[in-house]
Structure 1
Amino acid sequence: MDKAFGFDTVVQEVQRPLLAAKIEAASARKGVGLVKVFGRRSGFIALQASLASEGVDICLIPEEKFELEGPCGVLAYLKDLLERNSHAVICVAEGAGQDLMHPAGEPIPLDEAGNPLLGDIGIFLKKAIKAAIPDSTLKYIDPTYMVQAVPCTSPDHIYCRVLGMHAVDAAFAGYTGVMVGQVNSHSVLLPSSVITQSARKVDVNGRSWTRLRAAIGQPLFRNSTAPARKKQPA
């Protein structure tokens, strides 16, 4: 499906904490703004929110594994950013970096519904940054419940109404076990089993993630010969 209902609203609302993190970080010497957003298994919100914002310097998502330590790690790049710009903003999806918080080979525990019990990557990064850069001024923002309790934007309101109308049409037509969605701008009925069989993931080799990395100049945070990308002018 092209998108889920509420996605545009969340991306729009996440701009507020990202802007607050930018202002707080820029107001202090070696200021770091750290914002944790939705994204247990996929990083679409972090990706799109970072692309929409002009202040994000590092974006971390579950699909892209990263190193924290070492010359190619996040901390080394963050130190370089602070030396060059005196401040930095990090947007991290809640499911990112889970492998860093669990010993190698140890399975991630599951809850009663079968969902992974995630470690708090926000607190984990906060402690790691303060330990590696003790003279930094770090502001950590977790807007999880703030972005859930807001009125939807006009495009999402219209999208929800359209989905509701087509759902009623499908019910009167006798269809069951289906979901209404939008594919290539067309409203369609899709089997629920197909929709729920797997989580949709960000393609880290695709255009959207590549576009974000090019826009903010983010390198690969792992041993690689790929050069860091230059940040494009606004």
Structure 2
Amino acid sequence: MTLPKPEDLIIHSLGECRFPSPLQLGAASGEYHGEFMSDAAKVRFHVELERLEGRPDDLFFERAGPRERLFFDPSKVKAAIVTCGGLCPGINNVIRSVFLSLKYNYGVPEVYGIRYGYRGLNPAYGDGFIRLTHEMVENIHLHGGTFLGSSRGPQPVEVMLDTLADRGIDMLFCVGGDGTQRGADALAQAARRRNLPLAVVGIPKTIDNDIPYVFRSFGYGTAVEKAREVIAGAHAEAKGAPNGIVIVKLMGRNAGFIAAGATTASQEVNFAFIPELPFDLDPPNGFLAHLEKRVLQRGHAVIVVAEGAGQHLFGDLPVERDASGNIKHHDIGTYLRDRIIAHFRERRIEANVKYIDPSYLIRSVPANCDDAQLSDRFARYAVHAAMAGKTDLLIGYWHGLFVHVPMHLVTSQKKHLSPKSSMWLSVLAATGQPVLMVNEPVPETTAS
């Protein structure tokens, strides 16, 4: 991860906070009430002392929380919520908690939902606004998906900003991953150029858990939990047939957090592959040789592979992109299946190979208890930030605390699973797989 400079962590503000907060909190410690958060409250970037050697130790995030003085008069605010990109457990929890916090904690009279992502802000697709009510959102947290709908791909920034201005929207909550936050950043910058007092606050959403400065995004825990259930079935299938081999492909376009998390939670996986580590298939040290040895010794094997793993194996096939600009990865799951079948057939070894792809199932379920709590906290911290006139920021989760992260930092890089991390070392310990399955030395990767 690229080390930011102190000036990179400064949060944009719309101006002077002239209105008192309606929240029943204190300015100092009290026995029976919470406290307002001061802008002076910071969270240190580095917490490990050895990490500070030769590095600046004066890097701090602004801590998130309710402010005593607000930029907006709550009684006159119009707010909107938009959800973009792929589904993720907990989106409906976020929508509901943003609405409840605005309506009942701050007394905001008008809260709108934007239908089908950023396209709902483009009049070319019709009127994308619906005014939210308590009855609409009362039970949405019990269901997966997004009550508002979603879409991929950008829309013209000036058109979206015109729509928000015409509607008199004061604050926009953008729930999504890196593509969504790039759009949010562009909206916030365009609003500044026009001197429009629009607060744009991002809420991180990705089951891939690859948003920087967010230790864990909501939905990741639920996805891992559901993936573990799939792996349990895969293990039963593998053991239920002679030389049974089952491949489970999980989401993880650029980062292997789901594959690693599900592997360590399951403890029944024998090989795990992530985008951050290369691997070969052919002998002497390629995966197929190790798989053959495992099957001959133990009679079965379970393989977990992230969707972005092994893309180097497809050679010079043409590159395609989705509506968000992301590279469409080739199907590593079916590729591995076919290569495994061919290998064992060539070696005249019986093998019963099965392939499971639960990708769209694990992301469309309701949030579990842990993610429900995390979703609620992300949502409420986002509302506190917007009411105080803070803009062009994402609510981050850093060393167990919620912080304000400038949007440009979020969109400048992705978070990856380091092969040096304790998480990947746990995967190696749980699977027993070799550290590297390559036939030629590879350059050492850097932690991020």
Structure-1-length-normalised TM-score: 0.91
For the pair 1:80 / 2:296, whether they are aligned, the reply is no
- What residue number does 2:333 align with? 122
For the pair 1:222 / 2:423, whether they are aligned, the reply is no
Between 1:132-141 and 1:110-119, the stretch displaced more is 110-119
- What residue number does 1:231 align with? none
Give the root-mean-square deviation of aligned CA atoms: 1.5
Between 1:86-95 and 1:112-121, the stretch displaced more is 112-121
Between 1:214-223 and 1:2-11, the stretch displaced more is 214-223
Deviations 1:139-176, CA, capped at 9 Å, x for gaps: 10000111122111101101111111110100000011
For the residues of structure 2 that align with 1:224 and 1:54, how far apart are their CA atoms? 29
What's the CA shift for 1:16?
1.4
What's the CA shift for 1:107?
6.9
- What residue number does 1:205 align with? 420
What's the CA shift for 1:112?
4.9
Which residue, out of 12, 17, 20, partners 2:233?
A: 20
Q: For the Cα contact (< 8 Å) 1:25–1:32, is it kept in 2?
A: yes
For the pair 1:189 / 2:404, whether they are aligned, the reply is yes
Q: For the Cα contact (< 8 Å) 1:7–1:45, is it kept in 2?
A: yes
- What residue number does 2:27 align with? none
- Equivalent positions of 1:21-40 (< 5 A) are 21-40=234-253
What's the CA shift for 1:110?
3.3
In structure 1, give the amino acid aligned to 2:254: R
For the residues of structure 1 that align with 2:339 and 2:239, how far apart are their CA atoms? 21
- What residue number does 2:321 align with? 110
For the residues of structure 2 that align with 1:13 and 1:114, how far apart are their CA atoms? 28
SS in 2 for 1:138: strand
For the pair 1:47 / 2:260, whether they are aligned, the reply is yes
- What residue number does 1:7 align with? 220
Q: For the Cα contact (< 8 Å) 1:38–1:94, is it kept in 2?
A: yes
Q: For the Cα contact (< 8 Å) 1:37–1:93, is it kept in 2?
A: yes
For the residues of structure 1 that align with 2:272 and 2:336, how far apart are their CA atoms? 13
Between 1:203-212 and 1:27-36, the stretch displaced more is 203-212
Between 1:187-196 and 1:85-94, the stretch displaced more is 187-196
What's the CA shift for 1:198?
1.4
In structure 1, give the amino acid aligned to 2:295: L
For the residues of structure 2 that align with 1:13 and 1:149, how far apart are their CA atoms? 10
For the residues of structure 1 that align with 2:320 and 2:377, how far apart are their CA atoms? 39
What's the CA shift for 1:214?
2.0
Q: For the Cα contact (< 8 Å) 2:267–2:430, is it kept in 1?
A: no
SS in 2 for 1:39: coil
Q: For the Cα contact (< 8 Å) 2:246–2:353, is it kept in 1?
A: yes
- What residue number does 1:99 align with? 312
In structure 2, give the amino acid aligned to 1:167: A
For the residues of structure 2 that align with 1:147 and 1:40, how far apart are their CA atoms? 15
For the residues of structure 2 that align with 1:124 and 1:20, how far apart are their CA atoms? 21
Deviations 1:186-223, CA, capped at 9 Å, x for gaps: 11111122112111111112221122112221101113
For the residues of structure 1 that align with 2:368 and 2:321, how far apart are their CA atoms? 34
- What residue number does 1:167 align with? 382
Q: For the Cα contact (< 8 Å) 1:81–1:88, is it kept in 2?
A: yes
In structure 2, give the amino acid aligned to 1:146: L
SS in 1 for 2:262: helix
In structure 2, give the amino acid aligned to 1:209: W
Between 1:108-117 and 1:53-62, the stretch displaced more is 108-117
Which residue, out of 132, 149, 165, partners 2:343?
A: 132
What's the CA shift for 1:108?
3.7
What's the CA shift for 1:224?
6.9
SS in 1 for 2:394: strand
Structure-2-length-normalised TM-score: 0.48
Q: For the Cα contact (< 8 Å) 1:102–1:108, is it kept in 2?
A: no
Q: How many aligned positions are there?
A: 223
For the residues of structure 1 that align with 2:408 and 2:225, how far apart are their CA atoms? 30
- Mark the runs of 5 or more structure 2 residues left unpaired by the alignment: 1-213, 442-448
Structure with the bigger RCO (C-alpha within 8 Å, sep 6+) is 1
For the residues of structure 1 that align with 2:342 and 2:408, how far apart are their CA atoms? 46
For the residues of structure 1 that align with 2:387 and 2:255, how far apart are their CA atoms? 35
Structure whose alpha-carbon radius of gyration is higher: 2
Structure 1 outlier segments of 4+, above 2 Å: 106-114
Deviations 1:1-58, CA, capped at 9 Å, x for gaps: 2111111000001011101110000001110010000001010100011011121000
Q: For the Cα contact (< 8 Å) 1:109–1:116, is it kept in 2?
A: yes
Between 1:78-87 and 1:198-207, the stretch displaced more is 198-207
